[in-house]
Chains A and B, each alone.
Chain A
Amino acid sequence: MSEDKVSDARDAGDRLVASHPSEDPFAAAFKATRMPMLITDPRQDDNPIIFSNRAFTELTGYSQQELIGRNCRILQGPATDKAAIAMIRDAVQHQHDVAVDILNYRKDGSTFWNALFVSPVRDRDGTVIYFFASQLDFTNIKSKQAELAKARHEAEQEVARRTAELSDALSVKTELVHEVDHRVKNNLLTIASIIKLQMRMTADHTVERTLKSVLDRVEALSTVQRKLLNDERLGHFDVADFGHDLVTDIVGSLKRPDIVLTTDLRPVTVSASKASPLALIINELLGDAVRRGLSDGGGEIHLEIRRLNGHFLIRVVDTVTPVEGDNEQSAFSQAMLDASLRQLRATIERSIQGHRTEVSVTLPVED
């Protein structure tokens, strides 16, 4: 910068001050205010600073001597937003006000966020003779905003990461449950196959009948396992759904057109831990009716599963022509039934009227 230019700018500043008496309250205020301010002269080449106050020096580190004759771009640096600079340039060129937030650089190279306001000063003819600029350092506010944004961003990332972890863990767990379920199913079918194989190999009718009796109970448990994971409500067991499948399969396989099957089944869901004893109870009740004559002479059978007064009711009613039973089988069935009833703390009521047998099992329902 030429010495002439600096001297021109200083002269303009002097003239400005000289035009006001030294006791001019406006000049005194300009010098003393805590708000950084400066004045430029657009009629000189490159619109140099002709005046700046003490607050401006405190803010930027430049002395007044260093500033006079320089353009305000001295405050810009590599990270200053080009769009903000363009806004200021446009306002100066078209001679209107502008308020813009801009990143500025101090003499020592440090940065601050500047809420800059620039406005043209006109003479009586309307000619722009000065530009007045005031600065406000809002770095604190800006950095708090940035901190908040950063913290929010980090929190969001953390949430996303944790969500991904949890969903991975869940899918691993689900896979594991299905794998175990699959193995249990295969094992149950293998157990059934072993029993069936031995049944086919034996010539002894009693052995065959005994194995059939074991197979029948294993298969009841197989049906439970099949029902356990069928819906998304893992760990729950719909007793009525099980009862429906069991009674339909038993009656269907008897292949007797003279059996009348009726049902009254309402959805009753219990926890999976109760599934097996419940299934065995229903299986024994139905099996008992089959042994007492349903498979021989047909008849009527009714299965009812529903809630009753806060309890849960399983009711089997059959009308059959009684046949001579197998005492050993009946005793075994009774023992199975008793054990399952005790496990569930269920009560049983049996009433027989002629050929009609009615058995009701009542048990508490957990809620």
Chain B
Amino acid sequence: MLLALELESEVEASGHQVIGVASDFAEAVKLVDDAMPEFAFVDIQLRDGPTGIDIGRHLASKGIPFIFVSGNLKRIPHDFVGAVGAIEKPYTVNGLQNALSYVHELLAGAGSPVPPPSLIVLNTTAPAEHESGAERNSVAAG
């Protein structure tokens, strides 16, 4: 929870509003369905096991962009199940900030930004089509 707490404050520090933190699959799905966030961070290993992947699929089915946060990127399926990218733990303050800037630019439709080294993206896919406008709400699962 300490990690999620810090992620929350770092996301807020860069100008976003965090609508909630979920620690397992059921909580995450409820949070997503109730609050419809504009963006999500999804850890793969949660309290109930490696359920982050399925949370990712759920987000993708709702058209909500998200990135995975994981200590083991090999766990992520090859197609990334629709994730914008993945941040490998242990990430750094700089790495997280750069990833956030990239996501912000990408979702704002501001051209095609270059992903920072801290964000692993599925190679050479066009940015997901998305309504322009800065995302204000985020959800962190972890």
- Which residues on A are within 8 Å of B, measured CB to CB? 178, 181-182, 185-186, 188-190, 192-194, 196-197, 200, 215, 219, 222-223, 225-226, 244-245, 248-250, 252-253, 255
Contacts and interface: CB of A to CB of B under 8 A. Distances in A.
A245 B118 contact: yes
A219 B6 CA distance: 15
Interface residues of B, number: 22
Nearest to A225: B90
B1 to A, nearest CB: 10
Contacts of A189: 3, 89-91
Interface stretch (B21-29, B51-59, B92-100, B131-139): B92-100
A185 B91 CA distance: 9
B2 A197 contact: yes
Contacts of B2: 190, 193-194, 197
Nearest to A244: B117
A76 B104 CA distance: 90
A245 B120 CA distance: 12
User: Is the contact region of chain B dominated by helix, strand, or loop, or is it mixed?
Assistant: helix
Nearest to A188: B90
A248 B99 CA distance: 12
Contacts of B71: 181-182, 185-186
B112 interface: no
B9 interface: yes
A249 B117 contact: yes
A248 B90 contact: no
Given A196-B10, A222-B90, 5 more contacts: A188-B90, A219-B92, A222-B92, A253-B97, A253-B98
Nearest to B10: A196
25 contacts: A182-B71, A186-B89, A189-B91, A192-B93, A194-B2, A196-B10, A197-B2, A197-B5, A215-B93, A219-B92, A219-B93, A219-B94, A222-B91, A223-B92, A225-B90, A226-B88, A226-B90, A245-B118, A248-B98, A248-B116, A249-B92, A252-B97, A252-B98, A252-B116, A253-B98
Contacts of A188: 90
Contacts of A196: 6, 9-10, 93
Contacts of B61: none
A134 to B, nearest CB: 71
Contacts of A222: 90-92
A178 B70 CA distance: 13
B131 to A, nearest CB: 26
Interface string B100-141: 010000000000000011100000000000000000000000
Given A197-B2, A197-B6, A249 B89 contact: no
User: Is the contact region of chain A dominated by helix, strand, or loop, or is it mixed?
Assistant: helix
Name, among B88, B94, B98, the residue most crowded by chain A CB atoms within 10 Å (CB to CB). Answer: B94
Contacts of B91: 189, 222
A232 to B, nearest CB: 11
Contacts of A193: 2-3, 5-6
Nearest to B9: A200
A186 B92 CA distance: 12
Interface in B5-52: 5-6, 9-10
Interface string B59-75: 00000000000011000
B89 to A, nearest CB: 5
Contacts of B92: 192, 219, 222-223, 249
Contacts of B101: 252, 255
Contacts of A182: 71-72
Nearest to A193: B6
B69 to A, nearest CB: 10
A234 to B, nearest CB: 14
Contact of B98 (A185, A219, A249): A249
A188 B90 CA distance: 6
Contacts of A255: 101
Contacts of A192: 6, 90, 92-93
A24 to B, nearest CB: 89
A212 to B, nearest CB: 9
Nearest to B117: A245
